[in-house]
């Protein structure tokens, strides 16, 4: 078994140029689980994996892709695009009708299971292969998936031609199976579009269900007592007025537990938003980031900090200014007079109106 451990992109490019892995079985770390896989186009290697696993069907094969952009966008059901934007790369597998002959060998009925893995080296490998990588757990059918690399080498070494290993630190992480969701279109169910949980893994189904029904727009500032609660409450009012299927929330970088600032409260009450007085600040958490479809900060510094802390979510994190093609920060009015708060509130309102128009016209691209 050839082994590459935590290679840089250049090393990986050089390796694939000399070893294209046409019919190779590949041990890989998705970012959460070990898997065995091969090129999607290699039907003989897929058959070999089925034999090794003593399995008679292709159920359980997932196609890993480097990014959702490799899919034909007009073939992706519109109701699940927000889930892709929110959870990819990550530990969500989506099963849905996707009309593409390259997936014919692993389809279950008319549906294919797809995921963008969180491990960046694996995504780079798939991109260099130029086609999806099929993936399934390392185990004989009916037995528990193997979660330990040393045991994989000891018990399954003969299964693999090549291994792409993550860093030593990553290899010590506990395994977490992906959550598998099936999309059921209205033409299938005879009623509304819906999703069904086929396997609940590291992402709770209730969170995905909520994101499917009402994607969350999260506003972030320093303390979650001035700018972000104003943005949250104002945007909630706007999306209700325009009947947009979204939810709103807000948080801060600093520890929570504080009331909204009196100046922000006054400005929101003047606009008829009476629930503003119930706001209690909260600090950003991984779960809040995971459960949000779009994260909008007030400052570039806050955006950069969150992108650094949550790299797999970076493409969903923007400043409120840049999401509507403006530059710079929305300054913090804390400690200033009411007039300063009014100016900040007016800027936030302007940006939110423009964001609402983008959403109404389906012009938002993240």
Query: Hey, which residues are catalytic here?
Result: 221, 227, 332
Q: Please state, in angstroms and as integers, the Cα–Cα distance from residue 92 to each residue in 51, 82, 149, following that order.
A: 27, 12, 23
Tokens of 102: 């390259």
- Give the number of residues written for the chain: 366
The dihedral sign for the CA sequence 78, 80, 82, 84: negative
Q: For residue 141, count CB atoms less than 10 angstroms from its CB and return exposed for 0-12, middle for 13-18, buried for 19 or more.
A: middle
Q: Compute the distance between CA of residue 341 and CA of residue 260 in angstroms, rounded to an integer.
A: 13
- Partner residues linked to 319 by β-bridges: 297
Residue with tokens 């943005």: 231
Q: Compute the distance between CA of residue 317 and CA of residue 310 in angstroms, rounded to an integer.
A: 9
Pairing state between β 34-39 and 247-252: unpaired
Contact 318, 295 (CB under 8 A): yes
Q: Compute the distance between CA of residue 339 and CA of residue 175 in angstroms, rounded to an integer.
A: 53
Q: Compute the distance between CA of residue 1 and CA of residue 266 in angstroms, rounded to an integer.
A: 67
Q: What is the DSSP string of 294-312?
A: EEEESSHHHHHHHHHH-GG
CB atoms inside a 10 Å sphere around CB 287: 10
């Amino acid at each position: 078994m050839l082994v590459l451990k935590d290679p840089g992109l250049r090393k990986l490019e050089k390796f694939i140029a000399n070893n294209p892995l046409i019919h190779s079985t590949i041990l890989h770390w998705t970012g959460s689980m070990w898997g065995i896989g091969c090129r999607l186009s290699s039907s003989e290697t897929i058959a070999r994996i089925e034999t090794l696993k003593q399995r008679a069907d292709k159920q359980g094969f997932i196609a890993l892709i480097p990014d959702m952009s490799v899919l034909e966008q007009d073939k992706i059901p519109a109701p699940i695009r927000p889930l892709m934007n929110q959870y990819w790369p990550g530990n969500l597998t989506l099963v849905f009708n996707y009309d593409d002959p390259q997936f014919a060998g692993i389809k279950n009925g008319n549906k294919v299971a797809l995921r963008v893995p969180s491990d960046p080296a694996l995504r780079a490998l798939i991109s260099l292969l130029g086609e999806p990588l099929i993936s399934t757990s390392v185990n004989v059918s009916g037995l528990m998936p193997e979660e330990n690399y040393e045991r994989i080498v000891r018990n399954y070494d003969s299964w693999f031609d090549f291994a792409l290993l993550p860093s030593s630190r990553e290899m010590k992480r506990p395994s977490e199976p992906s959550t598998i969701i099936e999309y059921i279109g209205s033409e299938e169910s005879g009623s509304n579009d819906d999703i069904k949980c086929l396997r609940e893994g590291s992402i709770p189904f209730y969170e995905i269900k909520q994101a499917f029904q009402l994607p969350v727009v999260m506003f972030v500032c320093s303390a979650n007592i001035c700018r972000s609660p104003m943005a949250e409450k104002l945007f909630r009012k706007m999306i209700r007025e325009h009947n947009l299927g979204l939810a709103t929330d807000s948080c801060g970088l600093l520890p929570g537990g504080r009331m909204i600032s009196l100046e922000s409260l006054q400005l929101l009450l003047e606009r008829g938003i009476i629930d503003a007085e119930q706001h209690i600040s909260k600090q950003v958490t991984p779960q809040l980031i995971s459960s949000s479809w779009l994260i909008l900060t007030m400052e570039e510094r806050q955006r950069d900090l969150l992108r650094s802390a949550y790299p797999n979510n970076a493409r969903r994190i923007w400043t409120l200014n840049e999401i509507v093609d403006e530059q710079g920060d929305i300054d913090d009015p804390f400690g200033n007079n009411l007039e300063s708060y009014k100016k900040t509130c007016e800027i936030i309102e302007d940006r939110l109106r423009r964001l609402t128009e983008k959403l109404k016209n389906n012009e938002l691209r993240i």
